[in-house]
Amino acid sequence: MIRHLSTPLRLKVLTTICLVFCLTSATDAAAGEHRWGVGAQFWKTVDDLADDGLDDIEDDGLAWVFSYQYDPGSLMKFEIDLEYYDGGFSGSPDSSISPVGFIIIGNKIYGALGIGVTYSGGLQDDISDPFYAVRVGYVLTLLPKIRIDINANYRANAFSDLDDADTDAITLGAILRF
């Protein structure tokens, strides 16, 4: 398949593959760690939406977060979160779940870029359009295999909207990882 690409494009594809391989396999495969976590995320509705007369939207709340993270031993990590919201999140009277996948760069202080969706029986289509997420965080080691991840998150409906963050839509979270 790569044979059918133009030479400059072929070089870009191969360079990208090599860069990802080098970043994710800087150490032995045995050095990779699988981390499980549970936590909470405080969220608050953007003021403009609450003022538009939408009664089903809660002003704020607490979401439970279940998390899996794979650390291959480099600066890049991979994370999958499953967030659980009580009724009232995103205009749904029913509870909602939201799977979100992240690519993380950094160790103690990190930045992450993710994508996810929200499922709820109370939404018009049961599933939302994909949203994009940006996260910054700090990982504090409590014991050798126990860490707490304190983070701030921002979500947008379009990737291009991530650079124009509205501070009313930033959520704060903490995840205890084992």
DSSP code string of 46-97: -HHHHTTT-TT--SEEEEEEEEEEEE-SSSEEEEEEEEEE-TTGGG-SS-EE
pTM of the entire predicted model = 0.71
pLDDT, position 139: 97
Q: Which fold has domain 32-177?
A: Porin (2.40.160)
* E strands in 108-145: 109-116, 131-143
Is the predicted pLDDT of residue 128 greater than 80, yes or no? no
What mean pLDDT do residues 83-96 have? 74
Give the span between the Cα atoms of 118 and 98, in whole angstroms: 4
What mean pLDDT do residues 71-83 have? 94
Top-confidence residue, 163 or 40:
40
Token representation of residue 59: 């002003």
Is the predicted pLDDT of residue 90 greater than 70, yes or no? no
Is the predicted pLDDT of residue 23 greater than 80, yes or no? no
Q: How would residue 7 be classed by pLDDT, with cut points 50, 70 and 90?
A: very low
Which residue ranges make up each domain of the chain? 1-29, 32-177
Is the predicted pLDDT of residue 11 greater than 60, yes or no? no
